Structure 1
Amino acid sequence: MSPLIEITDPRVFDPEVILIDVRAGADARQRYLAGHLPNAVFASLDEDLASKPADAAYGGRHPLPALADFAATLGRWGVTPNSHVIVYDDKAAAMGGARLWWMLRAIGHQHVQVLNGGLKAATDHGITLSTDDYQPQPAPAYPVPAAYNGTADIDEVAAAVKSADRIVIDVREEARYLGKTEPLDLIAGHIPGAANLFYAGNMGADGKYLPPEQLAALYQGAIGDVKPENVIVHCGSGVTACHTLLGMASAGITAPKLYVGSWSEWSRRDLPIAGEE
């Protein structure tokens, strides 16, 4: 199953599919109620796909929710291990859609796809949006594993940037990577030794992901001879990095890890920081 699905695919509106609309920000629910795909469940990036950080120095600004909490949330949405889940957001998958896709894959869920182009692809296609507060039929708590798979912690990242056989990729925009600006975290710059590959390069002018062969060439240019399982991807807080991990999966590169704490954790731990060179 491709990790991306087009709005023209009839499975998007299959009544057996669990369709999930992920929104971020204080007005997330209001935007959802203003217009969403019919029968799409509302999901909040901040409330459902992250826990409240007690200290961003340990886990970053968007730490993963406890697995028991995520299991209960999936049950509330009606998701079971056999469900075909299609997720989307209103940010061309840069935010919550890719994060939820990654989280489901990290607990072993097989049948999950992201709507390529997000909500805009649907409205461009003429889909009539709904303004109801859709409530799905709940299911038992999802049977989650003992841990999220495919994560790298701060110690693994610190070791990886010093290894010729591994690579850490920072997907933030170049100005943040170079330390010229930092709108969200306390200190500007990047992890010394990390490469920069801005996530927006995954997208074409139409607001959708580039074709798989173009994505493969893009990532191969960054990764080189490093094995995919030795690649670690991060961003500011572990959300937008999932956009690139989704692109990699579309290109057939499925083994890279996510550094969940990302720059928001690293920059608060009194660790080495690089800037413009």
Structure 2
Amino acid sequence: MNETGYLVTLHREGMDKMGELNQNILVTADWLKSRIGSDNIIVVDCRYNLIDQNYGISEYKKGHIPGSYFLDLESHLSGSKGKHTGRHPLPDAKEFAEKMNSMGLSSDKMVVAYDDESSGSARLWWLLRYYGHDEVRILDGGIQSWLDLGYPLSKEIPDHKKGKFIPSPRENMTVELEDLKKGTKNMCIIDSRSPERYRGEVEPIDPVAGHIPGAMNIDYKSNLDSKGRYLPAKVLEDRFSGIKGDPVVYCGSGVTACVNIVAMSLAGKHVLLYPGGWSQWVSYPENPVIKENSN
């Protein structure tokens, strides 16, 4: 937040560069295939399942895009959990950097993230930018887009390397709980969960159902086509044209909300993340909750 109480949409250093990156977020399987083995490309498998926490590593071992490393949502893309952190707090900067450096990350290398349902790769994309590394892309359509073209998988695990990545957190890419509670007239809060969870009809994960007061609902899955690819930028621009002010997105714990950030970035919008999400919000019993039947 700035001194006048209005949201700073992104920290101003690198704003122009990030604007340029909006149309350079996604890559295709063909693009990636032609660069497999390049010293300047680091490929990362981000598959996960919230219910089965062994799913990601199990699928990786069964077969992954050749040369790709694996990052686990719980162990590598999240930090230590506490009573009021939410389910997936941001990872410690030093620990995150150490993991990325074990893959050989440096400022001149590009990371390409993939998964099998969009949010793991979006989380890594967002985290790398948050910690100061803009050269990151998402394989549009995930591993299935690779398989659809008949490209092979590998079971070989790449060697650890030595990188030079030094994290530099961009704290103005996030909004914290207290800022969200205070709010501003320019803040547009967006709940990225399913409509049923938003309305409070069901809550399969967190102890309280409903949504944050004033939030609108944009289900992160609505940004994707039937093959898990992001909708065209022009379609996304039209979808988000009604959003005024400073968009702040949240989900259950700061993971699937990143899909909305990717989609809005493709549409040319600068978006903030509330990392703690619904799971942090409801960890404080005094925080207000809205349900469909209480509107």
TM-score of the superposed pair, with normalisation by structure 2 = 0.86
Deviation, 1:13, is 2.1
Matched, 1:159 2:185: no
* 1:121-146 deviation line (CA, Å, top 9, x unaligned): 11111111111222242224x21125
**Partners in 2 of 1:235 and 1:90 — Cα distance?**
19
Matched, 1:259 2:294: no
Which residue number corresponds to residue 159 of structure 2? 135
Percentage identity across aligned positions? Answer: 34
Which residue number corresponds to residue 21 of structure 1? 45
Q: In the alignment, which of 177, 197, 209 is matched to residue 198 of structure 2?
A: 177
Deviation, 1:23, is 2.3
Which residue number corresponds to residue 4 of structure 1? 26
Which residue number corresponds to residue 35 of structure 1? 63
Which residue number corresponds to residue 235 of structure 1? 251
**Partners in 1 of 2:161 and 2:71 — Cα distance?**
15
Q: Is the 8 A contact 2:130 2:169 kept in 1?
A: no
Q: Is the 8 A contact 1:203 1:210 kept in 2?
A: yes
Q: Unaligned regions of 5+ residues in structure 1, if any?
A: none
- Aligned amino acid, residue 261 of structure 1: G
Give 3-state SS (helix, strand or coil) of 1:8's partner: helix
Deviation, 1:26, is 2.0
- Aligned amino acid, residue 61 of structure 2: L
Q: 1:274 to 1:12 in 2, by over 3 A?
A: farther
Matched, 1:125 2:140: no
Q: Is the 8 A contact 2:193 2:218 kept in 1?
A: yes
* 1:107-161 deviation line (CA, Å, top 9, x unaligned): 2212110000001111111111111222242224x2112554401100111122x
Aligned length: 264
Q: Is the 8 A contact 2:265 2:271 kept in 1?
A: no
TM-score of the superposed pair, with normalisation by structure 1 = 0.91
Which residue number corresponds to residue 264 of structure 2? 248
Q: CA RMSD in A?
A: 1.5
Matched, 1:187 2:203: no
Which residue number corresponds to residue 60 of structure 1? 86
Give 3-state SS (helix, strand or coil) of 1:152's partner: coil
Q: Unaligned regions of 5+ residues in structure 2, if any?
A: 1-20
* 1:218-268 deviation line (CA, Å, top 9, x unaligned): 1123x1x32xxx211000000000011011112222x21100000000011
Which residue number corresponds to residue 88 of structure 1? 114
Structure 1 residue runs of 4 or more that deviate by more than 4 Å after TM superposition: 146-149
Deviation, 1:39, is 0.2
After the TM superposition, which of the residue ranges 131-140 and 98-107 deviates more from structure 2?
131-140
Give 3-state SS (helix, strand or coil) of 1:23's partner: coil
